[in-house]
Structure 1
Amino acid sequence: MFAFFRDVRYELRDVAVTVGDDVAFGHGFGRLSGTSGDGTATDGMWVRVTFGPRRDGDGGWLIAHDQVSVPVDVLTGKAVTDLRP
């Protein structure tokens, strides 16, 4: 996905994280935007993000799970891409 962009911005909002000794869980909203390779600027769209980091053997954190979803209009079955948090 990032190869599509000449320059890229990633914004996170309303992030909540619960942390345990060796695993954590987080969720919020993310928006990927920037300028494509042909120079077209895009504001992107907001998506729901969830992630699950775990401690590695050196005490640092690695993301073991990452998921992104787009809201769906249940009546039409189509993605809703113009929502904002």
Structure 2
Amino acid sequence: MEAQLDQECGIEKILIEIIRRGHADDPLYKWAVSALGPHQGEGTVIHALADALVESKVEQYIEAKRESDQAERVSGF
């Protein structure tokens, strides 16, 4: 039902939910995993998407961590 709210990525949400709730013996689970398929290199398409999302935020995380560490040093906790 939630997938209907976002027409842009509904299929992805459905596949993710099937995989999240599925079991290795379930034919629907097997279908969803195979639909995502292997990505060039290692992992699946989902792994590649996750890597891309994380990679795009690395610099922001490093800066936020640096600021947090500085605030801890200044405040003492």
Q: What's the TM-score, normalizing by structure 2?
A: 0.19
Which structure exhibits the higher relative contact order, with contacts defined as CA atoms closer than 8 Å and separated by 6 or more residues? 1
Higher strand share: 1
Q: What's the TM-score, normalizing by structure 1?
A: 0.18
Higher helix share: 2
Larger Cα-atom Rg: 2
